Structure 1
Amino acid sequence: MIRPRPAASAAVAVSAVLTLAACTTSAGPGAGPTSGRDGTAGAVFRFAATSDANTFDPAKGTAATDYSLARLQYATLVNRDTGNKIIPGLAETWDATPAGATFTLRKGLSCTDGKPLTASAVAGSLRRFADPKTGSSGVVFAFGPGAPTITADDQAGTVTVTLAQPWSDLLVGLSLTNAGIVCPAGLADPQALARGPVAGAGTGPYVLADVQRGRSYTFTLREGYPAFPSYAPQGTPPAQLKLSVLANESTAANQLSTGGLDYVALTGPDAARFAQGGYTLKTAPLLRMFVVFNQREGHPGADPKIRKAVAQALDLQAFNKVFGGKGEAMKSWSDSTSECASTDAALVTATDPAAAKQVLAGVKIRLTGTNGVANGSGNAYVQEALRAAGADVTLRNVDNATWASDVLADKGEWDLTVMAHLNFAGTLTSGALLLTGPPPPRGRNFGDLRNDAFTAGMGKAMAAADPAAKCAGWAEAQQALLGRNDVVPLATVPVAFVYGKNADGAVVNGTPDPTTFRIKG
């Protein structure tokens, strides 16, 4: 049985998902190149973020800007391409099973100070990432429950990860930016690593050359970098990247239209301005929205009849229209882009307002949601739909920090929440980790769900050695969870990634990869 490891702070561990989502939706982070701006054709690529970095330490990143900085400076052992296939990163080849993996490093790798990147250095970085004292929110995605054993063979150029329990998402977890490899110069002074760039610490294609906190960041390309991802589009890697902190989506869109930026990410109506005129527009799901109940004794969500009635009161298509109607009505806690996600509508409780009224009339429900996603308009829809079914619903639209404390850490009075989940891992595991195991403060199961069949199905999936068996396990888990209405699927919220006329880049699992920014022509 899978039992995700307890977290020192469940709110910190899982609110990273929403923190990143909110940074992107409330103002729409952007990124883009400005070819030839500094006198050399194809030299500069300018992009933007809506908020400043929280940390420069890749292991401790929790927000959109943190992840962008980490991806540029700290390479991972493996990458995922635009089809979510695992491909080489710092590792050229690997041999993986649910019990662990051995990675063979590329030849000629170096740190940003020119010193060779050895297998021992890579293993040291991974051990520090896995150490609970580091406090990385990405550890459980990579290694699953328990502490891994990580060893190196410098002569063979290999790094071996042996897991405490089977975890078939190891490679996915090691592709995330939290698992970025830090050279010994950075590990020697973790506090300095968190504050800013440390000379010789990086393993990625860019070096952070100038820092203006709250304003801008400038990166320079490492000549001859050997590990660029193969899925990058055609074009020239910029010799310089300049990131500006812009707090408003419309401002970023205006700068794109006037040539001040060559890339922005837009969630609002500004995206329509770039449907023509030589811009490259790519769309992908950003948030996966679903209802989660507080199932502790004394809360209405503890009653399966009430959970079913709530599901009957909600209309997925109506919820989708709240965000412009361009999302996907989901059939699970993630969407169809996630491996093994259910597409069977029969597993989802059908909308039936009349049946919902028979159960919800007079039921008091405290709905708490974040206002970081379209000012909480999705929460307002849920409130009105439940009120229409006769429930007495009070809504608290709160900021992310309050939501994380009240809901994720269970320090407030709540009965129901609309989870805005940025599935950065692109797997069912990412959301499932919030729905099983111990409740806060020992774990991440913030609704205190107790569904043994779901946990057993997840365990089978994570122990599976082949894709068919993995999906069979997830099928059992999803049927168990949806059958009890432990969660109510809603819809995705998409984002438009817009590149300027001379720019391009790859979008991986709903987020841009800044190492693939290219200048065309």
Structure 2
Amino acid sequence: MNIKHHSVTRRKVIVAAALLSAAGLALTGCGATGSAAGTAAASDGVINTELWYAPTTFDPALASGSSDVTVARLGFDTLLRKGETEGYIGGLATDWTAKSGTEYEFTIRTDATCSDGTVITPSIVAASLEYLATASDSSAQASKATVFGPGTPSFTADDTAGTVTIDLTEPYSEVLDGLTSEVTGIICPAGLADLPGLAAGTVAGAWSGPYTLADFAAGVSATYTLRDDYDAWPDWQGVTGTPAKTVNITVSTDSNTSANLVASGGIDISRFYDSNAQRFVDDSAYSYVTIPSSAYTLIFNQNPGTGSVFLDRPDLRKAVSQAIDKEGFNAAGLDSLGTPLLTVTASSVACTLDGSDLLPAFDVAAATKVLTGQTIRLLAMSNWDPAIDFLAESLRTAGATVEVSALDPADWQAEMRTQPEKWDIALNATTTANPLSEAISTYVGPTAANGGRNIAGVDNAEGFADLQAALAATDPAEQCSAFEDAQRTILEDMSMTPLITDTHFIIARQGYASSVFSGYWDISSMRITS
């Protein structure tokens, strides 16, 4: 393998903070199956595609940014996968049973192998999941909480019976959904034996998925090669075409350039969130699918002892919400293609609350009375300058002094979770394919320092009890009611300000196809169709 290292360059595009799975499906385009496909000839078994950021790690358990998560799907298989419209289909598991709210059993397929030929046994699966559940990295701990819930998971392998049993110390109804996520990708023994090499992508036998990393230029590109011996594809019914022998991934310089590359044939499949998508949607030479991708919110830091101006200041939190024109934010960040966000995540997600009556209206005059003279430290992702500038100027117009810190996705995630003393308010992007419980637990329950996901640091015992009730419920109506109650406590506390939800367009030029499953884009399902 030729692993090259170059300096990471800044990119002027928006990116979703990636982790984990489950949401409603929104499909538009030329194919009713959820695939975007063309008919012109493709070349040499190669698919050229793009990501908005370069991967920073090839260890799926440590994945934090969206690109880390995306490439993990190429290299590592998970127990379950998203169904094409709803539910789940098998990945490395052929059967699965919820024996109770705390015990789940999975039968592991017998024909899956690692990239070095090692047969993937239940013991290998259990060891990989154990690593995810016990890794001290903050990203892994956040993923563990999302996949397995607030309790402690244990894993029992029976190689003779071909099963893995997951036992949880607390009921968690979303564990099956969590086990579809890329961060649970099964790492083969060679990778667990060399964790630094795993993270660097240099362990030849680490991979359990269809592709292995052949080349990596840090910050610039990655090349994946299809394994000759791989035959463990999910049983997709609507995916047609041939998997690429080579997947070339480059880092997008900006959306305009990406659109030009798709139009000229330099890129075969790419993802757009802005008006550049409109160049292709009415052109029969291209086809597309859409997904409601990210929910953008402002998180108010209420972690005690951090010096945040928002601790014990609901009036200040309300004033920030009043100072921001959501339509203006939509125009600045998404060319007005986003849709209003009314709670912690998109309305396409089951059991979300319409919080319209709980959200303060845009009112700069009212905001100015409270914000004048306040200094606010705003944490955001790099490369979304127009939207960040809009937020900062909105608060300045209302009399606040704003200090902006814009970090790359991995550092942004880490600082939000582990360094709350550095920020007062954070622009957060949460993928709408994640479980609703993950969005809620950003504002209730244990903090990141205590192994949870509560970035806001709010002591919201009522909301946390509602969340636990939802996760323990077996009746769907009862579960939704508890989820809605938890969201209501968050909005009433003004723990966050909902902004917008964006829609992403996956554009495929002729000869290529891409698919989404239950609102989730799976890069490993890209296909050559002619």
**Paired residue type of 2:263:** S
Q: Using the TM superposition, name which of 296-305 and 269-278 deviates more.
A: 296-305
User: Is the 1:99–1:162 contact (alpha carbons within 8 Å) kept by the matching residues of 2?
Assistant: yes
d(CA) in 1 for partners of 2:342, 2:515: 27
Which residue does 1:77 correspond to in 2? 79
RMSD between aligned residues: 3.1
The 3 A distance-change label for structure 1 pair 302 and 410 is: farther
| Code of the aligned partner of 2:76 | Y
Give the conservation status (yes or no) of the 8 Å contact 1:102–1:161: yes
Q: Shift of the alpha carbon at 1:159?
A: 0.7
Q: 1-side partners of 2:136 and 2:355: how far apart?
A: 42
Letter matched to residue 392 of structure 1: A
> What's the CA shift for 1:370?
1.6
Partner of 1:280 in structure 2?
A: 287
What pairs with 1:232-381 in structure 2 (closer than 5 Å)? 233-275=239-281, 276-295=283-302, 296=304, 299-322=309-332, 323-353=334-364, 355-357=366-368, 359-360=369-370, 362-372=372-382, 374-375=384-385, 377-381=386-390
Q: Do 2:129 and 2:186's aligned partners in 1 also have CA atoms closer than 8 Å?
A: yes
Structure 2 residue 444 is matched with structure 1 residue 433: no
| Partner Cα distance (1:57, 1:520) in 2 | 31
Q: Confirm whether residue 465 of structure 1 aligns to residue 474 of structure 2.
A: yes
Name the CA shift for 1:387/1:84 in 2 (closer, same or farther; >3 Å): farther
Q: 2:226 aligns with which of 205, 220, 227?
A: 220
Partner residue of 1:475? 484
Is residue 61–residue 132 contact of structure 2 (8 Å, CA) maintained in 1? yes
Q: Would you say the 8 A contact 1:379–1:397 is kept in 2?
A: no
The residue number in structure 2 matching 1:12 is none
1:21 aligns with: 16
2:173 corresponds to which residue? 168
Letter in 2 for 1:141: T
Alpha-carbon contact 1:301-1:416 (below 8 Å) kept: no
Q: Could you say if the C-alpha distance between residues 245 and 231 of structure 1 is closer, same or farther in structure 2, counting changes exceeding 3 Å?
A: farther
1:326–1:392 distance in 2 versus 1, CA, 3 Å: same
Deviation at 1:242, TM superposition (A): 2.6
Q: Is the 8 A contact 1:405 1:411 kept in 2?
A: no
Give the aligned partner of residue 427 of structure 2.
418
Structure 1 residues 118 and 474, CA, compared in 2 at 3 Å: closer, same or farther?
A: same
Which of residues 167, 177, 181 in structure 1 aligns to 2:186? 181
1:101-142 C-alpha deviation (Å, 9 max, x unpaired): 111123422223333222122112211221234662421111
Deviation at 1:75, TM superposition (A): 0.5
Which amino acid is 2:297 matched to?
Answer: F
Cα offsets for 1:233-277 (capped at 9, x unmatched): 222222332333444433333222122221011234332222214
SS in 2 for 1:339: coil
> 1:54–1:470: structure 2 CA closer, same or farther, 3 Å change rule?
same
Paired residue type of 1:184:
P
TM-superposed deviation, 1:163: 0.7
One of 398, 402, 410 as aligned partner of 2:406: 398
Q: Aligned equivalents of 1:414 and 1:134: distance in 2? A: 21
Query: 1:371 and 1:95, CA in 2 relative to 1: closer, same or farther beyond 3 A?
Result: closer
Aligned letter for 1:124?
Answer: A
Which AA in structure 1 matches 2:178? G
Structure 2 SS opposite 1:21: coil
Q: What one-letter code is carried by the residue in structure 2 that aligns with 1:294? A: N
Which residue in the other structure is 2:4 paired with? none
Residue identity opposite 1:113 in structure 2:
D
The 8 Å contact of residues 224 and 248 in structure 2, kept in 1 or not, is answered as: yes
Cα deviation per residue 1:1-27 (whole Å; 9 max; x = unaligned)?
A: xxxxxxxxxxxxxxxxx996379xxxx
**8 Å Cα contact 2:113-2:230 kept in structure 1:** no
Rounded Cα–Cα distance in structure 2 between residues aligned with 1:450 and 1:260: 51
Cα distance 1:258–1:362, how it changes in 2: closer, same or farther (>3 A)? closer
Q: What SS does structure 1 have at the residue aligned with 2:378?
A: strand
1:159-185 deviations in whole A, cap 9, x for unaligned?
100012112221122111110112223
How does the TM-score come out when normalised to structure 1?
Answer: 0.84
Of residues 92, 95, 105, the one that matches 2:94 is 92
Residue type at the aligned position of 1:305: D
